[in-house]
Amino acid sequence: MHTYKRHRPEQTLLYQLVEQYYPDFLEYLSHQGKTLPLHVDKEFAEFLKCGRFEHGFLRVVCDDCKHEKLVAFSCKRRGFCPICGARRMAESAKLLVDDVLNGYPIRQWVLSLPIPLRLLLARYPKELSKVMQIIHRTISTDIIHRTGYLKKQAKTGAVTYIQRFGSALNLNIHFHMLFLEGVITEERGQTKFKLVKAPSHSDMEQIVDNISHRIAAYLEKAGLIQRDMDNAFLDFPMDDENSLLPLQAASVSYRIAWGQIWAKKYLPYKPCPPKTNNTTDN
């Protein structure tokens, strides 16, 4: 038996921060003649309404005891609402375990991107799906070849989730992928699954090399990057009409985006040097 406990978002630190500072942030942008994209503004607006009775609720009645409960509407957004995000995550995990993965052996692959590419793909989100397809094809081909088959003889499968935040809420586009640890073949009318050995260190190096070259080739062909042996960074026009770009650039580099301490790092730490053992045996 589960007891319903009402969530009170107004008591959480995240809600209080957004409620207090989001209007000031919008005012700051308006003074610069800029506004947030509609989908971003809607994400914040719906988040501030999530779980609040004044923005709508349902009256739920128990069929047995006739006890009544009021349940506030939720925003059901896909952005940063922790309650709706956790609910969606639990539902997705249940779907994968019960209906998709079906007990097959799985290996998780996590692929991160260089900081300049995180910013580039954040600015051109339509290219993100193309990059994901490149990564998927490269890993799938490697798995199929390591089992001794050709691509036309066997298939593998994967579920990929794109994560856009790091642990510090910084912009960090990366991929979480669940790949079958093997391939599915059809021989004499029967479907069979063949397990593959774990990739070796040299296998991983080759996969990373293939992925990096193919992504670079695609982005160059798409006209988003060009070869420059003298610089290891991407230069963006920061004064264009895209109000998100300066915010994304600050976020990807752990810097304050606006205010009196603009451009300062909000994580001003670095690893400590290794400790030396100066003790001697007596």
Domain locations along the chain = 1-100, 103-252
Angle, CA 83 vertex, CA 77 and CA 84 arms, to 5°: 30
pTM of the model: 0.79
| 180 vs 193: CA distance, rounded Å | 10
pLDDT at 63: 84
| 132 vs 170: CA distance, rounded Å | 21
Q: What per-residue string of b and e applies to 219-237 under the rule 16 or more CB within 10 Å gives b?
A: beeeeebeeeeeeeebebe
> What tens-digit pLDDT sequence spans the chain (282 residues)?
567 777 888 999 999 999 999 999 899 888 888 888 888 899 999 999 999 989 898 898 888 888 888 888 998 887 788 889 888 889 999 999 988 888 899 999 999 999 889 989 988 888 999 999 999 999 999 999 999 999 999 999 999 999 988 877 788 999 999 999 999 998 888 889 999 999 999 999 999 999 999 999 999 998 888 776 566 556 665 555 567 778 888 888 878 777 776 667 766 566 677 776 655 554
Asked whether 152 and 140 are in contact (CB, 8 A), the reply is no
Q: List helix spans (H) across the chain.
A: 13-31, 38-49, 82-95, 115-123, 126-146, 201-221, 244-252
pLDDT at 64: 84
| 146 vs 178: CA distance, rounded Å | 17
pLDDT at 111: 94
